[in-house]
């Protein structure tokens, strides 16, 4: 597997930032400022072109409005969440729904199913945010990354695997709010993806799933690579890992 010039950086929890081969900056689930796992140097990104939101929970959407306004970035989310973002003053929005694909800067973004809730906490109210989703991102060099969002294991993962054949799957493993390592192991079987980056674990003591446990449960999977990035680490080229000091 060669990512070419694509850079994938784990900002901790479900937040990932991507530098696309043509140099655009994409962040999925921007929770940076208050994210205890996010290294200080990543809390205030210098460039943001596109934000992808999987659902309206604070640990995924908290910095979407401020980053979109500051960088005049485009927010992609499910239709109802986009309505809320618009009310909060975000100007560039792409509202979509599951099954749809939108193309941007040579990158194709497909919204796929996730099994989770999607209420948006707004002051003392909970706003209906539509449904939680995941994304398959096809970068302009052909590399396909599946960000599962927050989800339990679900049978659509077999469809996502067959239809899109993601090269890399970003899967939650922390338990309590999402899949635990046993469900994630089952998910990997459904997806048949050979490179997996665990996420949504270790942020709080309640998120008990670990990459070690996932590794133990998948040791019979031929050719599987579980890459447990550390928050702030970047993956690029021939799966080379680096973190600036």
Site string for Mn ion, 47-66 (x = CB under 5 A): ------------x-------
Over the window 73 to 112, marking each residue x when it contacts Ni ion by CB under 5 A and - when it does not, the resulting string is: ----------------------------------------
Member of 7, 150, 175, 180 binding Ni ion (CB under 5 A): 150
8-state DSSP, 38: S
Q: Is 184 exposed, middle or buried (0-12, 13-18, 19+ CB in 10 A)?
A: buried
Q: How far apart are CA 77 and CA 118, in angstroms?
A: 11
- State in angstroms the smallest separation of the CB of 53 from Mn ion: 12
The helix/strand/coil state of 206 is coil
Q: Are 104 and 137 in contact (CB under 8 A)?
A: no
- As a whole number of angstroms, the distance between CA 167 and CA 145 comes to 6
Q: Is 57 in the site for Ni ion (CB under 5 A)?
A: yes
Q: How far is the CB of 210 from Mn ion (least distance, A)?
A: 17
Tokens 């590794």 identify what position? 215
Gap between the Cα atoms of 77 and 79, Å rounded: 6
Phi, psi of 66 (to 5 degrees): -65, -40
* 150 binding Mn ion? (CB under 5 A): yes
Choosing among Ni ion, Mn ion, none, which partner's interface includes residue 115 (Cβ < 5 to 8 Å by kind)? none
Q: Does 29 bind Mn ion (CB under 5 A)?
A: no
Closer residue to Mn ion, CB minimum distance, 205 or 223: 205
Decide whether 59 or 131 has the Cβ nearer to Mn ion. Answer: 59
Token pair recorded at residue 164: 């899109």
Q: How far is the CB of 57 from Ni ion (least distance, A)?
A: 4
For the beta carbon of residue 161, count every other beta carbon within 10 angstroms. Answer: 19
Site for Mn ion in 89-118 (CB under 5 A): none
As measured in angstroms, the least distance from the Cβ of 150 to Ni ion is 4
Task: Specify the residue, 150 or 167, whose C-beta has the smaller distance to Mn ion.
Answer: 150
Q: Go through 188-223 and write b for each residue having 16 or more CB atoms within 10 A of its CB, e for each that does not.
A: bbbbebbbbbbbbbbbeeebebbbebbbebbeebee
User: Which ranges of 1-155 does DSSP label H, i.e. alpha helix?
Assistant: 58-61, 64-71, 79-87
Q: Is 200 in the site for Ni ion (CB under 5 A)?
A: no
CB of 32 to Mn ion, least distance (A): 14
Site size toward Ni ion (CB under 5 A) is: 2
Using the minimum distance from each CB to Mn ion, give the nearer residue, 161 or 174: 174
Region binding Mn ion by CB under 5 A among candidate stretches 15-23, 121-129, 142-150, 156-164: 142-150
Residues that bind Ni ion (CB under 5 A): 57, 150
Residues that bind Mn ion (CB under 5 A): 59, 150
């Amino acid at each position: 597997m060669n990512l070419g010039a694509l850079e994938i950086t784990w900002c901790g929890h479900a937040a990932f930032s991507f530098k696309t081969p043509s140099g655009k900056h994409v962040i999925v689930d921007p929770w940076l400022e208050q994210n205890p796992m996010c290294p200080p140097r990543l809390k205030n990104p210098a460039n943001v072109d596109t934000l992808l939101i999987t659902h309206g929970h604070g640990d995924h959407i908290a910095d979407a409005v401020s980053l979109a306004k500051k960088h005049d970035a485009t927010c992609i989310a499910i239709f109802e969440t986009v309505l809320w973002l618009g009310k909060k003053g975000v100007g560039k929005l792409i509202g979509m729904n599951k099954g749809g694909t939108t193309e941007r800067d040579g990158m194709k973004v497909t919204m796929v199913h996730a099994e989770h809730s999607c209420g948006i906490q707004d002051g003392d109210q909970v706003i209906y945010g539509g449904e939680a989703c995941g994304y398959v991102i096809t970068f302009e060099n052909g590399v396909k990354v599946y960000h599962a969002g927050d989800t339990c294991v679900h049978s659509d993962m077999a469809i996502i695997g067959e239809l899109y054949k993601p090269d890399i799957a970003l899967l939650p493993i922390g338990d309590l709010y999402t899949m635990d390592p046993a469900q994630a192991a089952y998910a990997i079987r459904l997806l048949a993806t050979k490179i997996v980056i665990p996420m949504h674990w270790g942020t709080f003591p309640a998120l008990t799933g670990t990459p070690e446990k996932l590794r133990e449960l998948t040791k019979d999977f031929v050719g599987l690579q579980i890459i447990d990035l550390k928050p702030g680490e970047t993956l690029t080229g021939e799966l080379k890992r680096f973190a600036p000091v």
